[in-house]
Amino acid sequence: MGRAPDLTTQQRRLTALLGVLVLAAFTVAGLLKVEIDTSTASFLPSGDPAQEALEAKADDFGGDPVIVVLETKEERSLFNDPDALVRLVGLEGELAALPDVAAVYGPGTVLNQTAGAAQDMLAQISGRRDGYRQEVMATARAKGVAEDKVKALGEAAVQRFDERYGALMVQGLPAGLPTLKNPRFVQTVLFDEETLDARPQWRYLVPSPNSAAVLVRPRANLDADGTARLVDGVRKAVDGADLDLTRTTVTGAPAIAAGLADRGRSELPVLGAIAIGAVGLIFLLVGWTRRRWSRLRPTAAALVGTATTLACFGWAGQSVSLGVVAFLPILLGIGSDFPLYLSRGKWDRAVLVTAVAAMLGFGSLVLSPLPFVKELGVALAVGVGLTVAAALVIRWFLGPVAPPATASPARRAAAPSGAVRATAGVVLVVSATFGWIAMSGLDVEAQPDELAAGLPELEDAQHAEDLLGSSGEVSIVVRADDVTAPEVLAWSQQAQTRIVTELGDRVHPVLSVADLLGFLGDDPTPEQVAAAIEVMPRYLTSSVLRSDRSEGLVVLAVEFDDVAGLGDLLGELRTAIGAAPDGTEVDVVGLPVSAVRGLDLVDDGRLLINLAGIGLAGLAILIGLRSRDDALRAVLTVVVSTGWVALLAAATTGALNPLTIALGSLVTATGCEFSVMLRRGSELRTVATAALAGTTGYLVLALSELAVLRDFGLLLAGGVVCSFVAAMVVDRIILPAPREVPVVVPSLEDLEDTAPSVTLVKEVVS
């Protein structure tokens, strides 16, 4: 019979089982709380004035719209058929009733609201016209004016009145009764009678004779789940509309964000499972330890660390952005390196110090202005720490693993000659220098279509852009005590005219306060403006004017497919706006504005992020291992491998993206690890196994359908290989450690020949 386990062993097993159950419950509950956030805010600089201005504008007027494009076979069929127009109005009303909708702006509702307002306004104008004449005549009679002159004064008053409001009456009355059932009224409001094209103020809603556009603005600060629900609701409403359409397109920034979230949710488990299988298979087949199932310890520890990290985000109520899709394969690959070393129990201090260095390298990504890059850095740093903790617990419970049966003591070859070392040193310095120079000159790829390439939603966005002539929205926010004051209104109209004249090939006006009040003429009085706003439907005025009239918008459409070029355009736009009247503040806000600002910040901070990661990691090794030699080797390895990866990027993609711009920080983890472990005597096979696992983790990202993650995975997989090669060159050629000289124990016979007293020697030896 086998001996029963002692009490200490039983207690340890019971404690371990209880700990596993608690950790499993904590992890599962936390994972259920995790939410993926792919809203545009995660790709824009947080805390920056441009982003804060965009959020403030969204609070007042709603966020970037979901754009619905409706296409028909017959020209203007939605507007020539009264029944079709009524159904279009019904669709827009259904969209407006969806949860989290701030406003809906479409041609059907514009016509419906305009018809009602026209009826009210025409009635008021007609009544006011007669009342004004009677008031003038009564005043004249009271002053004793002759009757013939009284009538003349009355006619003069009517003439003055008609000069102000006649244009509106001419627009409304000749078209017949202002109602949706009257095609003549519809055509007069929307289309130019000579060209049959949509009038300029409605061109964004009627971009072509065969199409109509509806803008659905969500409420401000809508989260990812709310955005997805809104986009789904819009799609269902459009699909259920009883309209004779050849094609419907639902696009816009919220639709693309929802598509990214869906892709992230679908890819997260798939890429994670592939990474677990691939990395686990590597450790299983390499044979780094004798017992087959013990070879899976590194993968198990990395899996625990990864899942626990995500659970921490869930418990903290912190949604995770697109970077979490990259986080899983990276941590399962690179994070498993540290449990691999720790399972031996031979290099604990070195492993723990390099783990801290890796955490600092990844953690330096928090210096990025973009939230999704910051979040990736935090997740990787926390994940490495939790993975190391899991590895230590597993070793405490199961004990260290045995080396493979074929393992042999690590011996170093003779140090290379001075010529070889000098040649290798020159090659490393020159190549690294060229690499860093190339990295500083590489463009930062921030094109929306490139970052989200692979999404079917991008095809819809491109189709809508072809029809609308633009894909982004910029607003000129005007703030004053009263933005409808004559001088502010006149300046706003002049600025808009300058923009169209100077930038009309790249900027298209959508709507403004001046557009809505254009029927009042060039020089309306405050009373006339107030009267017009009072009778104008709130549906129209609220889209560009706050209720207290302290803020107004000039909404412009721009092409949003070249962020770098857009920066130049925004500069020209600000110049065209010109100086505002005293007491008036002007700001240019919008998703494109924040994107341009984010690109500038990322580009300006690229050197800081890279140097910070390398410097902090080197400092950790210097303090933790108390070895300037180890720190020097690690920093040199990272600097060289970063330069090599930059050359690789220049030769392949020719650009960096917001993730790969921090090459130095990302390569720091593997560069420091390989350098220190080779220096501290780890078997070459063990370090090579770790390099293979890290490379595999990055390569898994190449299976993503999103181009930004594919490029990131492929480039950084090359980074792991470069780190390993650089560490080998530095350790074995550039800065080789002193050669190990075998210790020869002399035999007794040798001692007898040389010692003066054989007896004494024998006694000492025995």
> Per mean pLDDT, which range of 132-146, 241-255, 467-481, 621-635 is the poorest?
132-146
pLDDT at 765 over 60: no
Cα Rg of the chain, angstroms: 36
pLDDT value of position 382 = 93
Q: What is the pTM of this model?
A: 0.77
Upper half-sphere CA count for residue 93 (Cβ side, 13 Å): 9
Position 721 confidence tier, pLDDT thresholds 50, 70, 90 = very high
Q: Count of CB atoms within 10 A of residue 581's CB?
A: 14
Average pLDDT over residues 704-730: 90
Position 453 confidence tier, pLDDT thresholds 50, 70, 90 = low
Position 749 confidence tier, pLDDT thresholds 50, 70, 90 = very low
Average pLDDT over residues 140-151: 80
pLDDT at 444 over 70: yes
| Residue 445 φ/ψ region, left for φ over 0, alpha for ψ in the -120 to 50 degree band, beta for the rest | beta
Q: Count of CB atoms within 10 A of residue 504's CB?
A: 10
> pLDDT of 65-106, one tens digit each?
899 999 999 888 888 888 888 899 889 889 988 998 988 888
pLDDT value of position 633 = 93
Q: Percent of the chain having pLDDT more than 90?
A: 24
> pLDDT of 315-341, one tens digit each?
888 777 767 777 888 888 888 999 999
pLDDT at 183 over 60: yes
The superfamily CATH assigns to domain 42-105+205-250 is Ribosomal protein S6/Translation elongation factor EF1B (3.30.70.60)
Position 604 confidence tier, pLDDT thresholds 50, 70, 90 = confident
* DSSP codes, 596-658: HHHHHHHHHTHHHHHHHHHHHHHHHHHHHH--HHHHHHHHHHHHHHHHHHHHHHHHTTSEE-T
Q: Over the chain, what is the mean pLDDT?
A: 81
> pLDDT of 230-250, one tens digit each?
999 999 999 998 898 999 999
Cα separation, 679 vs 674, whole angstroms: 8
Q: How far is CA 4 from the centre of its chain?
A: 58
> pLDDT of 611-665, one tens digit each?
999 999 999 999 999 999 999 999 999 999 999 999 999 998 888 888 888 888 8
Q: Among 576, 509, 585, 577, which residue's Cα sits nearest to residue 552?
A: 585
Question: Phi and psi dihedrals of 107, rounded to 5?
Answer: -65, -35
Residue of higher predicted confidence among 413 and 214:
214
> pLDDT of 669-693, one tens digit each?
999 999 999 988 788 888 999 999 9
* DSSP codes, 43-110: GS-TT-HHHHHHHHHHHHH-SSPEEEEEE-SSTTHHHHSHHHHHHHHHHHHHHHTSTTEEEEE-HHHH
Q: Among 208, 217, 201, which residue's Cα sits nearest to residue 469?
A: 208
Q: Under a CB-based contact definition with an 8 Å cutoff, are residues 658 and 602 in contact?
A: yes
Q: Percent of the chain having pLDDT more than 70?
A: 84
Beta pairing class for 247-251 and 507-512:
unpaired
Cα separation, 82 vs 180, whole angstroms: 6
pLDDT at 746 over 60: no
pLDDT at 514 over 50: yes
pLDDT value of position 448 = 56
Cα separation, 191 vs 210, whole angstroms: 13
Question: Phi and psi dihedrals of 306, rounded to 5?
Answer: -65, -50
Query: Mean pLDDT highest for which of 105-109, 219-223, 502-506, 546-550?
Result: 546-550
Position 39 confidence tier, pLDDT thresholds 50, 70, 90 = low
pLDDT value of position 739 = 44
Cα of first residue to Cα of last residue in the chain, in angstroms, is 43
Average pLDDT over residues 369-395: 90
pLDDT value of position 38 = 67
pLDDT value of position 431 = 92
Position 757 confidence tier, pLDDT thresholds 50, 70, 90 = very low
pLDDT at 752 over 50: no
Residue of higher predicted confidence among 727 and 44:
727
